[in-house]
Structure 1
């Protein structure tokens, strides 16, 4: 079954033997990821019913910018760019040139962006999808 919602096509699987006039149901495992799943269902239902889907507020604007920089830095490094070249793209060539590279804080920040980007690619991105847990 296909639904159009917010300009996207969503495929929904109906269990065999369930008549088409029976409302759909969602089954949510009650585990540590249950809140994430419930939020996902809420967003899906809003989209299906044509209601406004709230923006994702799990990341602050600063965190979103850092995530973008992590992926930019990692992509550049995997394409063969030097850390200095990457820093020039992210922080600006003039700013990078204004400091001695070997002792620059921008050098440390760039290597950290690449390291964290590689960790995100290796599966760390899943943490972005989860609610922040309170101990």
Structure 2
């Protein structure tokens, strides 16, 4: 699935290279628009360097086979776009590409638990059964359920998981802001 370029700030926006830039050194010839998808925004495709994927959008009106430039809007997402362009240039020049660091390991684990909790709840499981599946039955049995921190955590996982399903998942497409 490809997301709109407005939502996914890790997408590199490609447009015509200005005539004042030398076309001879432009790396556009390294791009292969495999498995491309076209819509009103342009042509969406992925660049895979063997380890990392970089999402690209050749904007509508930009012909294939011409020198390209990456577009960085001067907005709050500019640093996200610059990071994506850095990843693209590294991939095109066969340099190590850093992983996309939108989510920490802990955030990934919490999102997984949120999905497990919502799945259990939507299938009729009690909060106690959900907590047992996520945290282990022994750990759940070790605390009095009515005052258990696992009860509060499980409730929050279900609530936050439902919010993600209702559209909050789009926040996953944005990079974490660094001060």
- TM-score by length of structure 1 reads 0.76
- Gap runs ≥5 in structure 2: 1-31, 35-46
Q: Match of 1:5? A: 48
Q: Matched residue of 1:26: which SS?
A: strand
* 1:100 CA displacement: 2.1
Larger deviation, residues 61-70 vs 100-109:
61-70
* Maintained 8 Å contact 2:54/2:88: no
- Gap runs ≥5 in structure 1: none
Q: Which structure is higher in strand share?
A: 2
Q: Distance in 2 between matches of 1:17 and 1:62?
A: 40
1:14-93 to 2 correspondences below 5 Å = 18=63, 20=65, 22-93=66-137
Q: Distance in 1 between matches of 2:168 and 2:144?
A: 32
* Maintained 8 Å contact 1:14/1:24: no
Q: Match of 2:159? A: 115
Deviations 1:56-95 (A, max 9, x none): 3343332332222122212222232221111011110111
* Maintained 8 Å contact 2:121/2:130: yes
Q: Match of 2:17? A: none
Q: Distance in 1 between matches of 2:62 and 2:157?
A: 51
Q: Which structure is higher in helix share?
A: 1
- RMSD after superposition: 2.9
* Maintained 8 Å contact 2:118/2:158: yes
- TM-score by length of structure 2 reads 0.60
Matched, 1:132 2:177: yes
